[in-house]
Amino acid sequence: MEPESLDLDARRPAGERLGRLTKRAEFQRVSRGRRWAAQAFSLQAARRQDPNGAPAGARIGLTVTKKVGNAVVRNRIRRRLREALVVARPLEAREDHDYVLVARRQALSRDFSALVGDLRDAFHATARADEDKGRPPSAAKDKDRRT
């Protein structure tokens, strides 16, 4: 696997590459962003501020803590989530955003098709939340209509 890409095999179109988060500071920055919780994982999303202004594409990081289990269990969960990312294509990942999947132990036993559906729902929800955030606020409704 290339260090800057999550492309695991030739099943994905070349234009839909997802970069990787590699530095601790990147993971910490994303943890302060939006969150979406599923049964098997939590998805964190944050907009990336590039100094040159050109988005480099969406980047994803995976986190499986020691609370989840030993190294064998953590690696199985990590492999399962990576494969679910491959199958869930195309995702609604924005090019100027970074994402972190924080795994839970249920990621190991959850039905794979449900896991893929959860990933699609999570990316859709975070993309939709960003769209809603950009809308102008609706006019305040005055409850007192006597005037």
Among the residues of 12-138, which ranges form H helices?
Answer: 24-31, 71-87, 106-109, 112-134
Checking if the pLDDT of 128 tops 90, the result is no
Classify domain 19-131 by CATH number.
Answer: 3.30.230.10
- Report DSSP state, residue 32: T
The domain segmentation of the chain, as residue ranges, is 19-131
Compute, in degrees rounded to 10, the torsion defined by CA atoms 44, 50, 53, 57.
-50
Look at residue 131 in the predicted model and tell me its pLDDT. Answer: 65
Contact 68, 77 (CB under 8 A): yes
**Mean confidence (pLDDT) of the chain:** 81
Helix (H, G, I), strand (E, B) or coil at 104: coil
Q: How far is CA 83 from CA 75, 79, 86, 130, in A?
A: 12, 6, 5, 26
Contact 67, 106 (CB under 8 A): no
Nearest C-alpha neighbor of 119 from the set 96, 95, 87, 94? 87
Instruction: State how far the Cα of 77 lies from the Cα of 143, in Å rounded to an integer.
Output: 51
In the chain, the amino acid numbered 112 is F
Checking if the pLDDT of 40 tops 60, the result is yes
Look at residue 133 in the predicted model and tell me its pLDDT. Answer: 59
Work out the pLDDT band at 16, boundaries 50, 70, 90. low
Contact 31, 98 (CB under 8 A): no
